[in-house]
Amino acid sequence: MTSYIIRRILWIIPVLLVISLITFILMHVTPGGPFDTEKAHSAAVTANLTHKYGLDKPLPVQYALYIAHALRGDFGISYIYQDRTVQSIILSGMPTTARLAFLAFVVAVILGVSLGTISALRQNSWADYLSLAFATAGASTPNFVWAMILIVFFSLTLHWLPTGGWGTPKQMILPVLALAFTPAAYVARITRASILEVVRQDYVRTARAKGVGARLIVFRHILRNGLIPVITVLGPIFAGLFSGSFIIESIFSIPGTGRLFVQAISARDYPLIMGTTLFYALIIVLANLVVDLLYAVVDPRIRYT
């Protein structure tokens, strides 16, 4: 187990290097720059700014310098917030983004597993059809569409909840639900398919024949074995919620890292784009590692060699 974890951690380094190279190339091949003349800078000012931030050097040199500084924990100074480092900007918005992603993750897992389990145990009933309808609608509807629907219904029509902001419980409800619906539908579909396969297994029929209680069968045999495929997708789902919340943060004016990422792209803030991209990539890699390790917790038969 220890050697497996060490190998996986060491693999993070080349993964982040490849992601940083791809991001760096895409930033510079995209038309426009952080100090274009369209931003009301004179030619002399633009030239001075370009020289100050090293953008007049060849691209390979720029990338090598960035990696050399990043390895020392220096991700540069933001072009937008010129008195703040990229690290401080990311750390300032990370707690808000993490809270939003965690709450949406909890709602998605509870809602998805509950609907999927009820749907499988009551196959071809009205509960099954209702769960399938939610799963289909949720999986095919982007989170920004859910955000608009929730705002129109709960804020503009019923006037129950605010349209934006973050901090109070009322302000958290709509963004959390908008972010959670799509992964909840995905979890519900996987849970239903997995549990339908488990309930047909011989050990479940044997437990029923021995007179084991229905509740004990569900929690000890069906759920424990049926949730292994669900755990497989929980890591990518959490990473997706963490890294994909920037649209929701922009819609609801949430001061998180995702909103900063959108602003960085609009302003061509190269250091902030690179920093947030590497930050989100690290979250995804670590989430996948945690999920792989959870396999052995759920199923003792799994061993890592």
pLDDT digits (tens, 9 = 90+) for 150-181: 999 888 888 888 888 787 888 888 999 988 88
pLDDT at 303: 62
**Amino acid 66: pLDDT:** 86
What tokens were used for 276?
Answer: 């947030």
On whether residue 51 sits in a domain, the answer given is no
Residue 295 belongs to a domain: no
Q: Which residues of the chain have pLDDT under 50?
A: 37
Q: Confirm whether 212 is domain-assigned.
A: yes
The CATH number for 122's domain is 1.10.3720.10
In-domain check, residue 53: no
Q: Which domain holds residue 131?
A: 93-267
Residue 139 lies in a domain: yes
User: Per the domain annotation, does 37 fall within a domain?
Assistant: no
State the total domains in the chain: 1
pLDDT for res 106: 92
298 located within any domain: no
For residue 36, what pLDDT is reported?
Answer: 62
Handedness of CA 204, 206, 211, 212 (dihedral sign): negative
Evaluate whether residue 259 is within a structural domain: yes
What does pTM read for this prediction? 0.74
